Structure 1
Amino acid sequence: MTGLQELLADIETLVCCESPSSDHEAVARSAEVVAALGRKLLAAEPERIVVDGVTHLRWRFGDGPPRVLLLGHHDTVWPTGSLRTHPFSVREGVLRGPGCFDMKAGVVMALHAAATVPDRAGLSILVTGDEEIGSPSSRALIEQEAQDCDAVFVLEASADGGALKCRRKGVSHYRIEVTGRAAHAGLEPEKGINAGIEIAHQILAAAALADPEAGTSVVPTVVAAGTTVNTVPAAASVAVDARVWNEAEQLRVDRAMRALRPVLADATVRITGGINRPPLEESSSSGLFRLAQDLAADLGLGELTAASVGGASDGNFTAGMGIPTLDGLGAVGGGAHADHEHVVVAELPRRTALLTALVENVLAKRDPSDATNPAGDSGTARR
């Protein structure tokens, strides 16, 4: 197994380079740290791909198109200066620091796993810089890199207890904007068109699209309306977060959101946004999960469990393309985005060994039509 002390040292190096998604210069500095770690471990320089100011890194091995993709991100939600209040530490078997769990430990694990694969031909490693804000500049790159792959292994952190993430909800983001007409709230309110009242109607209509039995949530979040306490609001808006388990539900909600119409006479309603990430359905991960279970048993790592989670990742993109995708292969721990974010140290070499075995196994099956191909029975047609 990969040496624990080297893993810890490399995670510390990466965690101590802060990389909030919105700060492109900080993300670029972090990319150089990741590149240096990869150069040390892989004896190979990555491509630096800058899209809309965001720095992404890619390593490719072999002459043909990638067959296995290790996918991760090096940006975090933590603002610059977080190390002052949440310093890197390793105490009593627990590693802490901003972004350690989500997902800088996973990036380091990917590099260490790749370093121990004897024949890397067909392997690609993609580390993006804007996952935490929806991957606006990296989605096309991710989909391009995954299109010919037999397997995508996502180094996002595990679910509770180390479970692999075999099912993720799809995510859609919308913004409802209402235009009314301002008027003095005391002298002549009847001459106004109250955008606040209209947005209230729209909030209720959007929320009613949820289907708890299907696991579909449609949640109005950030609301804004009005200018002063004595003025009928001329404008209002609300953000809406929708999450679903399957494509049919995602399309239903999308159509219904776009069909919203004003209730008040002469008010106007504008809907923007849409589907951000398709669902990662269980059919996309089932074959690879069974392989991971078998390999974990062979390695003496104990029983692996699967989890369904409401959050999305870049693995949703590749699963949506019909590429077999297994997520949650990164650190075991908890507290993503929170003050108690942490990694269980003892699991780092164990999970890195599992990742290495997965990569080696899929790369060894050179014929994608091989009936023993673990990715071949995912049940998902490529789109």
Structure 2
Amino acid sequence: MTHAVRYRDLLTTNVEAMIDDLRRLVHVETPSDRPDLLRAGLADIEDYVTTRLGAPSRRQRHDGGARGDVLDLTWEGTAPGAVLCLVHYDTVWPEGTVDDWPLTRDGDILTGPGVLDMKAGLVQTVWMLLVLREVGEPHPAVRLLLTGDEEIGSSVGRPHIEAAAADALVTLIPEPSAAGDVKLQRKGMVFADLQVHGVESHAGLDPDAGASAITELAALIPQINALADRERETTVNVGVIRGGSGRNVVAGVASCEVDIRIQDPAEEDRMVAALEALTVTDPRCSLEVIVERNRPPMNPTAHSQGLLTLLRTAAADLDETVDSRAVGGASDGNFVSALGLPVIDGIGGIGAGPHARHEHITVKGLSRQTALMAAVAEQLGAAHR
């Protein structure tokens, strides 16, 4: 048995304060591509968490440049070890979105930009520690790592995530849940940017003098799509195409952006090699291919199955159930899982619509998910006393 019911009851009693906290965070706009807003937003976020939890016993802020700083805060526990809570504070929503879409409540539904992905996760982390302290059950230290570039690839956040996770009993990632279930299997991601350079000419007066970059790129796209392998759960999407300068100009430049999702780790090497081997047929044209191995896949491990047992124990105390899901999206949890380290991903808000205008969470889910996080920390504290 855990104190999950007591945690939930405390959270339910304080749910209006949790909603006020969430409103504050949603109204702090932190789009990934605005370093000025990320900087200001992180200062506001730090003020919020330290006001709620007190000064941390350990604080480090790492310069992230244009991609937002990384803030690493730890509050001591009453049992050995530490639980790492990994939260990204950047969102996909541009400045000004909140002006006509503030946090709004309609019964059990809370909607607003970034409310699900993932500012609810930060509120959950803060209140997890608050209820652990209130109940007084021994618990590990809580380490909060805030990153500002998850939505655009985590190139700054990744090394800090991997270093912090290495020392943790578990990494809890309050990313959006799958209708209350956690995500123990995620796709990995490979990105590719292709640019073809051709020769411009007048399409009417001198068409043969030109070499169309668009024509060459169009011939490459079926080859790229053919790399998909449904049996291995590898998908390919050419999501953006650009090219040419005018209807009557043989195109001198054309480019495309490719998104590849993989479940089998071996597929990463196959896809990278195939993309880098692409060639154009017209010798007057040239091709540049830039490939980024963005995230490795997350697959179930012995660690994840053991952690799912802890979650199920806590859920049973609440007379509820928790299962695990496989999803096509990726998160920073992919980095942790690929290192063979324990991680629970998708323990955040219950809702729908991340990155969409119907983004929302449920109020009831806010209490439930936070109680589950606290109960996991409690069980880890008991196991390591």
For the criterion TM > 0.5, the same-fold answer is yes
Matching of residue 60 in structure 1 with residue 74 in structure 2: yes
* 3-state SS, counterpart of residue 346 of structure 1: helix
| 1:81 Cα offset (Å) | 1.2
**CA offsets 1:78-111 (integer angstroms, 9 cap, x no match):** 1111122212122211111111111101111011
* 3-state SS, counterpart of residue 270 of structure 1: strand
* 3-state SS, counterpart of residue 162 of structure 1: coil
The aligned runs of 1:58-97 (5 Å cut-off) are 58-62=72-76, 67-97=82-112
* 3-state SS, counterpart of residue 238 of structure 1: strand
> What residue in structure 2 maps to residue 116 of structure 1?
131
Distance 2:62 2:139 in 1: 21
* 3-state SS, counterpart of residue 37 of structure 1: helix
> What residue in structure 2 maps to residue 149 of structure 1?
168
| 1:65 Cα offset (Å) | 11
Matching of residue 50 in structure 1 with residue 50 in structure 2: no
> Judging changes above 3 Å, is the alpha-carbon distance between structure 1 residues 291 and 320 closer, same or farther for their aligned structure 2 residues?
same
The one-letter code matched in structure 2 to 1:309 is: V
Distance 1:68 1:262 in 2: 51
Matching of residue 191 in structure 1 with residue 205 in structure 2: no
The aligned runs of 1:1-383 (5 Å cut-off) are 1=7, 2=11, 3-45=14-56, 46-53=59-66, 54-62=68-76, 67-118=82-133, 121-159=140-178, 161-283=179-301, 285-298=304-317, 300-366=318-384
Distance 1:315 1:73 in 2: 11
More relative contact order, 1 or 2 (CA 8 Å, 6+ apart): 2
Name the Cα RMSD after superposition.
Answer: 2.1
**CA offsets 1:310-365 (integer angstroms, 9 cap, x no match):** 11111111112221211111111111111111111012112111101112222443
Distance 1:20 1:31 in 2: 12
The one-letter code matched in structure 1 to 2:246 is: T
Distance 1:65 1:124 in 2: 13
* 3-state SS, counterpart of residue 355 of structure 2: coil
* 3-state SS, counterpart of residue 117 of structure 1: helix
**CA offsets 1:245-282 (integer angstroms, 9 cap, x no match):** 12112222122111112222332211103210111112
| 1:122 Cα offset (Å) | 4.3
| 1:366 Cα offset (Å) | 3.1
> What residue in structure 2 maps to residue 381 of structure 1?
none
> So what's the TM-score if we normalise by structure 2?
0.89
The one-letter code matched in structure 2 to 1:24 is: P
> Judging changes above 3 Å, is the alpha-carbon distance between structure 1 residues 301 and 277 closer, same or farther for their aligned structure 2 residues?
farther
| 1:68 Cα offset (Å) | 2.4
The one-letter code matched in structure 2 to 1:194 is: S
**CA offsets 1:46-83 (integer angstroms, 9 cap, x no match):** 43333114133211245999642111111111111112
> Would the aligned equivalents of 2:83 and 2:140 in 1 still touch at CA under 8 Å?
no
> Would the aligned equivalents of 1:116 and 1:356 in 2 still touch at CA under 8 Å?
yes
> Would the aligned equivalents of 1:72 and 1:155 in 2 still touch at CA under 8 Å?
yes
> Judging changes above 3 Å, is the alpha-carbon distance between structure 1 residues 153 and 95 closer, same or farther for their aligned structure 2 residues?
same
> Would the aligned equivalents of 2:75 and 2:141 in 1 still touch at CA under 8 Å?
yes
Distance 1:41 1:363 in 2: 22
* 3-state SS, counterpart of residue 70 of structure 2: strand
The one-letter code matched in structure 2 to 1:50 is: D
Greater CA drift, 36-45 or 321-330: 36-45
| 1:168 Cα offset (Å) | 0.8
> So what's the TM-score if we normalise by structure 1?
0.90
**CA offsets 1:199-245 (integer angstroms, 9 cap, x no match):** 01211111110112222111111111111222221221111000111
**CA offsets 1:5-62 (integer angstroms, 9 cap, x no match):** 2211111111111111111222222212221221122212443333114133211245
> Judging changes above 3 Å, is the alpha-carbon distance between structure 1 residues 291 and 121 closer, same or farther for their aligned structure 2 residues?
closer
Distance 1:359 1:121 in 2: 7
> Judging changes above 3 Å, is the alpha-carbon distance between structure 1 residues 95 and 310 closer, same or farther for their aligned structure 2 residues?
same
| 1:120 Cα offset (Å) | 5.6
> Would the aligned equivalents of 1:166 and 1:285 in 2 still touch at CA under 8 Å?
yes
The one-letter code matched in structure 1 to 2:53 is: L
Distance 1:25 1:269 in 2: 36
Unaligned ranges ≥5, structure 2: 1-6
> Would the aligned equivalents of 1:167 and 1:285 in 2 still touch at CA under 8 Å?
no
Unaligned ranges ≥5, structure 1: 368-383
Larger % of helix: which?
2
> Would the aligned equivalents of 2:238 and 2:257 in 1 still touch at CA under 8 Å?
yes
> What residue in structure 1 maps to residue 4 of structure 2?
none
Distance 1:320 1:152 in 2: 13
The one-letter code matched in structure 2 to 1:337 is: H
> Would the aligned equivalents of 1:167 and 1:308 in 2 still touch at CA under 8 Å?
yes
